[in-house]
Amino acid sequence: MLNLRTAAMALALALAIPAASSAEAPQPRSHVDLDRFMGRWYEILRTPNDHQRNCWAASQVWSRRGADRFSIAQTCHQGSRTGRASTVNTSARVLDSTTNAKFEASFFGGLIRQRYWVIEVAPDYSWMIATTADGQFPALLSRSATMSAAEQARLTARMGQLGLPTRQLEPSGR
């Protein structure tokens, strides 16, 4: 059951991330195989936002719920890597079946919606670069909880090449 604190965190996340703007955001460069995409992803780098101010070692578990629908359980540890875990459950749907890389997440049964783009995914699905639809809140996620500094640097540079802002990126695992 969703407790009040978790609900407040989900609401803060949804409100902290602005709706898509009229500026042209980077577009997905990879087709997403939804079956391969499902499972656990660890947040390696993220753009700071109010919801995750005290969030450490964030992860997400994606689960299929139909041909173009899935759920995402987002877990965050409060204050430290071993702090109390708080999970927010969202539902999502694919917006573009050509790439499967654009989706809309719904919070609180659809009361709040946010669009996200998977800009690029590794051929082996070991990492992904994702962002809000406006391109202003990019993140780097991995199938592993850690990533080498060299790989992080390479993928951060790639994010910049794709037109995503990288100056404010911060590590999730701290």
Check pLDDT > 90 for residue 161: yes
Interval 53-65 mean pLDDT:
93
Which 3 state secondary structure label does DSSP give 146?
coil
In angstroms, rounded to a whole number, what is the distance separating the alpha carbons of residues 168 and 84?
A: 26
Which one is predicted more confidently, 151 or 48? 151
* 3 state SS for 86-116: EEEEEEEEECCCCCCCEEEEEEHHHCEEEEE
φ/ψ region of 81 (left if φ > 0, alpha if ψ in -120 to 50, else beta) reads alpha
Q: What is the pTM of this model?
A: 0.84
Q: Could you give the domains of the chain? A: 4-18+26-171 (2.40.128.20)
Paired with 64 in beta bridges are 70
- pLDDT, tens digit (0-9, with 9 covering 90-100), for 66-117: 999 999 999 999 999 999 999 999 999 999 999 999 999 998 888 889 999 9
CA angle, 122 as apex, 121 and 123 as ends, to 5°? 115
Which 3 state secondary structure label does DSSP give 36?
helix
